[in-house]
Amino acid sequence: MIIAFKKNVEGVLLACHELRESPGSDLIYADTLDELKSKISFSGFEDDVWTLGFKPVTNCSDLATRILGKRKSRMFQRDPGVEKYIDLVLRHSSCSPVELVHFICSCAGNADQLYSGKSPTGKRFYNYMRDVTRAYHRLCMFARPDFVNGILTVEVNSPHRIGDMFCRWLAGKNPDLPVSVIENDIAWIGNGRYIGLENFTNVRSSFIQSLSFSREDDELDQLWDVYYDSQMIENRRNKRHAKQLQPKSSASVSEMSRRDRYKVERGIANCTLDEFNA
């Protein structure tokens, strides 16, 4: 038998449930039904295929409890719950959903194994979850949106699929403005009701990019630089620590972070050419 599941939390949990019932089954996954059909036709095994998760009908919380038990499994206050854990792992660029289903089944109802990192596979998936969380946090920290025709817009370029998560966060932070997060060819829109769209939706990124771009923030950038420099305590400079907190990759997220990162690396100049001339 082949278990075909959608690459989302519900699909993974349903596949786990089904795999426990029929342990020898093969697994395939897809993002959409069309992709699934092409995968199945390519494999040549069109009979005896169980399709799961493409029609959202299941209560994921109940399903997660049935598969991994009732016990509160988080070991660290910032660890997400089981469903969020699966969601985050699935967003990782290296995640294999089939392997994830096998791993969850191997936990045999003990959700602690998702978080403890005791086994090498458990540690790898835990690290995937942390990688995605970290990438999302870095966007929240270092992305600097601009106004494009009244829409707060930012372009992100993460290896993991986190554009929608970031868009929800940005929309929550600015509930009175429409926001847009451009991720490759998709633009996620938050608070879309202000521009006649659904409150949270996505459109083709060309739609946002076609809007005339007006950047009026040079003065603000200068003001930020003045503020950033004012917070420096020279005798406490700790380059190594600062570099760990603001890694090199963060510099590519926005122009402002690039300048901040440069100052972490080189320090803040305490004299200028004007002072020499004077």
Interface positions with another protein (CB under 8 A): 75-76, 112-113, 115-118, 120, 123, 137, 140-145, 147, 152, 154, 170, 173-177, 217, 220, 222-224, 226-233, 235-239, 241-242, 244-246, 256-257, 260, 263-264, 267-268
Residue with Cβ nearer another protein (89 or 170): 170
Within 10 A of 275 (CB to CB), how many other CB atoms are there? Answer: 8
Q: Give the three-state DSSP class for 41.
A: helix
Q: 72 by DSSP, 3-state: which?
A: coil
Bridge partners, residue 190, by sequence: 179, 200
Nearer of residues 55 and 123 to another protein, judged by Cβ: 123
- Closest to another protein by CB, 44 vs 175, is 175
Supply the minimum distance, in Å, between the C-beta of residue 30 and another protein: 32
Of residues 60 and 152, the one with the C-beta less far from another protein: 152
CB of 45 to another protein, least distance (A): 38
Q: Give the separation between CA 78 and CA 128, rounded to whole angstroms.
A: 15
State the minimum distance, in angstroms, from the CB of residue 23 to another protein: 25
Phi-psi category of residue 268: left, alpha or beta, with phi > 0 → left and psi -120 to 50 → alpha = beta
Distance of CA 160 to the CA centre of its chain: 6
- For the bound state, the minimum distance from the C-beta of residue 222 to another protein, rounded and expressed in Å, comes to 7
Residues 6+ apart with CB under 8 A from 122: 103, 113, 114, 116
CB of 261 to another protein, least distance (A): 9
Nearer to another protein (CB atom), residue 83 or residue 146: 146
d(CA 196, CA 198): 7
